[in-house]
Amino acid sequence: MIPDQAEVARSLQGAWQLARLDPSGMSYLNLSVEGFWRSFFAAVLVAPGYALLVGQELFAREEPVNAMWAVLVETVAYGVGWAAFPVVAIFLTRLLNLSRNYVPLIVAANWAAVIQIAGFLAAIALGVVLPPLAGLMVVAATGAILFYQWFVIRTALGTSGGVAIAFVLVDLLLTSVVSLSAESLL
């Protein structure tokens, strides 16, 4: 279920169009059931960036951590993180009578994650080059990523801004729970 190079390129183009606040970005995405499963390939593309962020956090820790244990915990947390929102979104879309747009939601959110990690890494890199602005860069990138996520969810679900905010908050909650659980195991 790995997408071919052309599908990856189209999907990333769609995610980029959505980042430019262009709803037509959805037309680049494979919104079929096969496209749903293939969109999880985005996790492979995001993984190196995620590993860099986790590595940075682990090296910044004051207390030592067992490297093998950390790799295991973070790998499991990464997988759980990619599964948590799609699973919860099944129930939320049914509850809100939006289940017809569940597949587009997950496909768009998965491919958008590639743009999100790239933006966050760019902000961190700029912070390294311009240390006095590091904190501001991370805050600005976080705000932009949350807005982008809101736009993707609103567009994919074809719903109101308020409903999209609720989905963003649920995703943030899930991400926080997974992250805190992993941290507690380290």
Q: Which two tokens stand for residue 182?
A: 């992993």
Which pLDDT tens digit goes with each residue over 142-158? 999 999 999 999 999 99
Which pLDDT tens digit goes with each residue over 34-66? 999 999 999 999 999 999 998 888 887 878 888
Distance of CA 123 to the CA centre of its chain: 16
Cβ neighbours of residue 20 closer than 8 Å, sequence gap 6 or more: none
pTM of the model: 0.93
